[in-house]
Amino acid sequence: MVVWVQPTNTTKRIVTTTLLGIAMLTTLFRLRTRIRTRRFWLDDVWAIVALLFSIMLLVAMWLRTIPSSSRETLIICYWILSFGFISTLWASRMSVIFSVVRVIPHDNRSKLRKITNCLAAIFAVFWIGLMIQVANVCGANKSWYKFAKPQCRLGDGVAAFELTSDVFADVTLAILPIVLTRNSLVPAAQRKMLYVIFAASLLTTIASIVHAIFLIGPSGSLEGTAAHARPPPLSLSPTPVFSLHPSIGPSTRTRTLTLCHTPTTTPFTPLAKRDRLTGPRVWMALKRMTRNPLARLRGS
């Protein structure tokens, strides 16, 4: 017989606040770095969306764990937690997939970029579909409103749909980096970011399986704790991690020239062997320009 341990309110607060806090701080640092270096793009927009939903998630969790909270407050907080969890998770995945789009070379955009854009659309369908399913299950039967601690039992159907969509999304995000690195479609300096995406996708898949088990099982508190703990460390954090150090994120030898469209970058390709015979002065000048992208941009 399986004994389901019920976490205390203190445990929920510590776990959720710690993980969400780390994710929020790294996301803010990532956004600050991207804006300062003028490399802000769609993946950063989705990171902001995930950040906003994670703030809602954290506030609702604290209100729900206050012993003196009224029944109405507990019910409202549960709805916020349910939709906030789903939105944080899928907005983080949207940020990750657009981070992959960002590093795809332009000579492969006709294929890989179309594939990744289609995957982003599929993610959006899963996102909306899961929210509709949760609203339908919990809204059709409101008997859980009368519980001492109101919490909807989502059941096997929601668990199956969530697990299927999670595994599809995480496996997809794990395969894309493998394709890009195996075919040498991205520079070596940008492969570290893809490795982080691959590792994060595998970890998120494991956490998704655990969360689905708690959905099916009788422990609603464990399901809620697993839901709170999953998006921050495994879905929200990998995206800002790319910007914590230049050697992890996209190469610093490219400069984003637009905000609303696909980034137009100015690549700095290495000199061919025949170009090295033009004289030491020319070689040194080109080498200095490669080290300082702004000097080349001003010269152009």
Name the residue ranges covered by the structural domains of the chain: 9-241, 268-300
Amino acid letter for position 184:
S
24 with 233: CB under 8 angstroms? no
Calculate Rg over the CA atoms of the chain: 23
Candidates 89, 132, 35; CA nearest to 226 is 89
Residue carrying the six token digits 């341990």 = 5
253 with 293: CB under 8 angstroms? yes
Candidates 164, 166, 159, 262; CA nearest to 220 is 159
Q: Whole-prediction pTM value?
A: 0.70
Predicted confidence at residue 209, as pLDDT, reads: 65
pLDDT for 92-114, tens place per residue? 889 888 888 887 776 655 688 88
pLDDT for 129-145, tens place per residue? 999 999 999 998 888 89
Give the CA angle between residues 39, 43, 49 to the nearest 5°.
Answer: 120
28 with 244: CB under 8 angstroms? no
pLDDT for 218-267, tens place per residue? 544 444 444 444 444 344 444 444 444 333 444 433 333 334 344 444 34
Write the Ramachandran bin of 129: left for phi over 0, alpha for psi from -120 to 50, otherwise beta: alpha
The matching CATH number, chosen from 1.10.10, 2.60.120, 2.20.230, 1.20.1070, for 9-241 is: 1.20.1070
Who has greater pLDDT, 140 or 204? 140
What is residue 107's DSSP assignment? G
41 with 263: CB under 8 angstroms? yes
